[in-house]
Homo-oligomer: A and B are copies of this chain.
Amino acid sequence: MDNVNIKKLAQALHLSTSTVSRAFRDNSDISATTKERILAMAKQLNYQPNHYASNLREQKSKTIAVIVPELANNYFSLAIQGIERVASAKGYHILIYATNDQFEKEVSFIKHLHNGRADGIIMSVSGEANDHNYLNELSKKRLPLVFFDRVYEDIITPRVITNDYESSFSATKHLIQQGCKRIAYLAVNKTLSIGKTRMQGYIDALKKFKIPFQEELIIDCTNNYKENIDLLKEAFTTLKPDGVFTSVERLAFATYYACYDINLSIPKDLKVIGFSSLEIAPLLNPALSTVTQPASDLGKTAAELLFKMLENPNDINPASEVVLNSKLFQRESTSKG
C-alpha cells in the first residue's frame, strides 16, 4: 500500500505529525497559514485520517449499529431509512445486522458489538420467547441501546413504539362496525410483546362490543409464506370468519393469496385489515385497509434518542418511552356490502 498517513504528510511538509494532526482538529492552536498548507497538501495527496487509529485513540467509533429481524421487509427498510438520515446528518456510520429471527444471532451480534466497534445500538428484538437477560449481564458496560417497535419489556432502556393497543382496538372496532361477527386474529408469535399488545386490543374491542371471544379464531402463523397460505386456506374454510385482522403485513398478503385460491371474495365474504406500512396498499385488489405505522419516523426518533444518550448520557431517563401514533386507513377490503 502506498497509503498516505499523517507521517508522510508531515514529511512532505517538513512538519511534525502533531502539527499535522492539529490541522484536522478544530479547537487546537495552530496558525492559520500552516493549517491551510496542511489541508492543501492533504487534499493533494488524498489523505484520509485512519479511522481505526483515531478511534483506538479516542475510544469511540462514530458508528451506530442497527439490528433488525429482517432486511427484505418494507417496514424495517423504512425504519432504517429514518435512522440513516439522522445518523448521516451527524456524520455517523451505520452497521446493519439482520437476525432473521434467530435469537442466537442477536445475542452474538450484541456481544460482539461491545468491542468498541459501535458507540450505540438501535434494535428491534427477535427473541421475546428466550431469556434475554444477557442484556442485563452486560450491566454497566452495556452500550447505549434503544429499542424500536419490538421491545423487551423487562430490559430497562429507552424505546420507541407505536400505539399498538389503541390501533388494534380501532381496527377491530372498524371490522365490527362494518358488520363482522366472526373476526379472526392472525398472530405471528403470541409470546412477542408486540403480539400480546396487539392481541389485547383485539380482545378488548370484541368485549366492548359484546362479541364473544373465541380462542379458535386466534390463528398462529409461521414465518413461512407458503405454509401460511395453506394454513389460512384451511382455517378460513373450517372456521368461516367474516373478518380478519392481521398483526403483521405479510399475513395480509397471505390472506389475499389464500382467498384468491379458495374463491373467497374480499370484502364480500371476508373483510381484511392489517398492520402495514405499504405505500401501495391502495393499489391492491381490493385496496387494503391498513393500520399504518410511521415506520420512517420510528427510525428517526429512535436515532435521535440514541444520539441524546450519546451526547448527554445522564440527561435521559433510561426508562423513557416514546409512543408514536399509527393511522387507520379504511379502504375497499373492509367496505360494506
Residues of A within 8 A of B (CB): 1-3, 46, 48-53, 55-56, 59, 61, 63, 70-74, 77-78, 80-81, 84, 88, 93-98, 111-112, 114-117, 137-138, 140-141, 253, 256-257, 279-280, 282-287, 296
Given the complex of chains A and B, what is the CA–CA distance between A267 and B313 in angstroms? 58
What chain B residues lie within 8 Å of A279 (beta carbons)? 253
Closest chain B CB from A289 CB (angstroms)? 14
Task: Kindly list the 8 A-B residue pairs having the minimum CB-CB distance in the complex, ordered from nearest.
Answer: A285-B285, A48-B115, A72-B81, A71-B81, A52-B56, A77-B77, A52-B52, A51-B117
Number of identical protomers: 2
Closest chain B CB from A261 CB (angstroms)? 11
Q: Are B98 and A95 in contact (CB under 8 A)?
A: no
The residue in chain B whose Cβ has the minimal distance to the Cβ of A91 is B112
What chain B residues lie within 8 Å of A98 (beta carbons)? 81, 84, 88
The residue in chain B whose Cβ has the minimal distance to the Cβ of A93 is B95
The residue in chain B whose Cβ has the minimal distance to the Cβ of A62 is B117
What chain B residues lie within 8 Å of A72 (beta carbons)? 77-78, 80-81, 296
What chain B residues lie within 8 Å of A52 (beta carbons)? 52-53, 55-56, 61, 116-117
Given the known A-B contacts A52-B55, A56-B50, are A71 and B80 also in contact in the complex, defined by CB atoms under 8 Å? Answer: yes
Q: Are B93 and A94 in contact (CB under 8 A)?
A: no
Closest chain B CB from A126 CB (angstroms)? 14
Given the complex of chains A and B, what is the CA–CA distance between A51 and B2 in angstroms? 23
